[in-house]
Each structure stands twice: as C-alpha cells, then as structure tokens.
C-alpha cells in the first residue's frame, strides 16, 4: 500500500486538475467556442442542460440526472454560485483537508519514525468531503422546497380573502401575502432570479416562431417553476389558476377548496409520519432500559462469578 500512495495522490490530483480545466473549456478549440457563442446568440444550437437532452432519449436516466443535478440543486437552494464555482470550492476544501491530514500524519511520525497512517488513506479520508458537500447541498435544497410549499399552503386562505372583493388577482395576492411572511423564502423566489429566468426563457421548440423575450402568463411561469424545481404547490396553484381563467370560476371558491384539500393532505402526511415514528420511539425506549438492566444484572453477575471462583 505505501508503494501505491504517491501514484494514487498524483492520479487524484491530475484527474481533478483535468476536470477543472475541462469545465473551464480550456481544451475547446477557439473556432468551436466562437461557433457556440454565435449559435447560442441566434438560438441555432441546443443549449439545454444535459438532463433535458438525455431525457429525450432515455427518460429514466434523464430523470435520475435531473434529480441529482448540482446546478438545479444550487438554484433550488438559492445559491448564487455556479457549478464551476461549487466544484472549485469543494476541490479546494479537499486539498486543504488532505494537506492538514498529511501534516498531522507527519507530526505524529516524528517520534515513532514511521508514518502511522499511509498518505493515500489521508487523501481518501479528505475525499469524503465531496459526497458530504453534495449531501449537504441536497438537504438544503429539500429544506427550501418544503419551506416554499408550506408557505404557499399557509397563504391560500389569505389569498381567498384578498381575491373575494375582486381587487387582487391570485398572483398579486400571493405576492402580497409573501411580503408579510416572517420567513422570506417565498418572497425571494417570486422576486428572485428563478422567477425572472422562468419568465424570459422560451422553449426550444418555439424559437423558430416566437421571440425569446416573449411575455408569458403567470400560470405558465408558475407551471415551469413547479416542474423544474419540484415545487408541488406551484403546480397545484397553476392548475387552479388555469381553471379560474378558462372556466370562469370564482377565485375565492377555488382557493378555499384548494386550501381545504391541502390541509387534509398535510394532515394525512403527518398521520403517516407519526405512525412510522412509533417503531423508532419504541427502539429509543428500549435503549434507555439497557443502562437500568446493566445496573440490576451487574451485582448478580458479579456474585455468580465470585461463587464459581
């Protein structure tokens, strides 16, 4: 293993460097880069993300790539950094942690004159920071998704009240209520980069007939946000707003019914979670009994051992 330490370290460092250079497009010929800029400006190339292009041919793989896409998770978590910046930051953290582990390993070897831990193990231990960073980002994105869905669900009743007099549309009522929330996660979404991106980005199939800066309806924007960032309440709200516009229903009645349905659904989910938590609670109580059993059984075990001796 010690003989393989240096090659493994060099291979890992070289792979990370090559990946970084490839992401920075330093290996791309100038003519290809120029054509991509021209084609992107005139909407002549398919500039969609990788998950969307793969989903056209392999839906299952495309769905997996979409769920694990780092740029999508960064957008959901409201991170301002790009994929390249996130990768560079993670690589720097891995190198710093690797260097710290190697220094500690060297300091520990001064007295014993031998390395307690091989350098490759230190590098592999530092590399665990990559999946930990990804899991942290994924957890942050899911927490923000839950916060947005909960904020919309809690705003439906107030939206029904505001739209009952006809002075507010559902969209303006949602924005007004979002301003009043203590947690500004919903208001940041409605006024942030995600909303503007969904409002200006046109579908690739419409590029030949429609202008890329066409005005989109609020229902379409909500539908896109719900689909691209897995926000269930945005999809529900867009569907019900479309019903209001197409069928001429009262916004107050539709939003009230949606609020009631959402409340029942959340109550059912909480009931299921409470039932699923019972085995874990029983396990925790059982583990709490173990110290008490040790206090009771220890004198008896000591007495039996002394009797046989």
193-204 residue pLDDT tens: 776 666 665 443
38-94 residue pLDDT tens: 887 777 777 676 666 777 777 777 777 777 888 888 888 888 888 888 989 999 999
CA distances 87 to 80, 158, 183, 255, 272, Å, are: 14, 42, 29, 43, 38
Structure tokens at 69: 């896409």
Task: Judge contact between 109 and 116, C-beta under 8 A.
Answer: yes
User: What pLDDT score was predicted for residue 197?
Assistant: 66
Alpha helices in the chain (DSSP H): 5-23, 30-41, 50-55, 59-67, 70-76, 83-112, 119-127, 129-164, 170-180, 185-191, 193-200, 218-228, 232-247, 251-308
Name the band, by pLDDT with cuts 50, 70 and 90, for residue 143: very high
182-240 residue pLDDT tens: 888 888 888 877 766 666 654 433 333 333 444 467 888 888 888 888 888 999 999 98
């Amino acid at each position: 293993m010690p003989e393989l330490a240096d090659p493994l370290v060099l291979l890992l460092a070289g792979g990370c460097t090559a990946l970084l250079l490839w992401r920075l497009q330093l290996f791309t010929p100038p003519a290809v880069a120029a054509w991509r800029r021209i084609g992107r400006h005139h909407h002549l190339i398919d500039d969609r993300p990788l998950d969307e292009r793969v989903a056209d041919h392999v839906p299952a793989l495309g769905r997996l790539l979409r769920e694990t896409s780092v740029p999508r998770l960064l957008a959901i978590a409201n991170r301002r950094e790009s994929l390249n910046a996130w990768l560079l930051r993670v690589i720097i953290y891995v190198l710093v942690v690797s260097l710290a582990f190697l220094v500690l390993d060297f300091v520990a070897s001064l007295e014993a004159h031998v390395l307690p831990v091989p350098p490759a193990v230190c590098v592999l231990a530092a590399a665990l920071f990559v999946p930990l960073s990804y899991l942290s980002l994924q957890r942050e994105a899911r927490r923000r998704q839950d916060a947005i869905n909960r904020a919309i669900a809690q705003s439906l009743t107030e939206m029904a009240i505001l739209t009952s007099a006809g002075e507010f549309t559902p969209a303006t009522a949602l924005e007004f209520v979002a301003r009043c929330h203590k947690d500004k996660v919903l208001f940041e979404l409605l006024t942030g980069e995600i909303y503007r991106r969904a409002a200006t980005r046109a579908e690739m199939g419409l590029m030949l007939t429609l202008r890329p800066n066409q005005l989109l309806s609020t229902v379409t924007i909500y539908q896109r946000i719900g689909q691209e960032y897995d926000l269930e309440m945005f999809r529900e709200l867009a569907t019900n707003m479309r019903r209001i516009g197409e069928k001429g229903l009262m916004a107050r009645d539709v939003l009230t019914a949606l609020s009631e349905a959402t409340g029942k659904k959340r109550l059912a989910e909480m009931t299921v979670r409470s039932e699923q938590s019972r085995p874990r609670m029983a396990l925790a109580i059982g583990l709490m009994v173990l110290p008490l059993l040790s206090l009771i059984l220890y004198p008896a075990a000591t007495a039996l051992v002394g009797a046989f001796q």
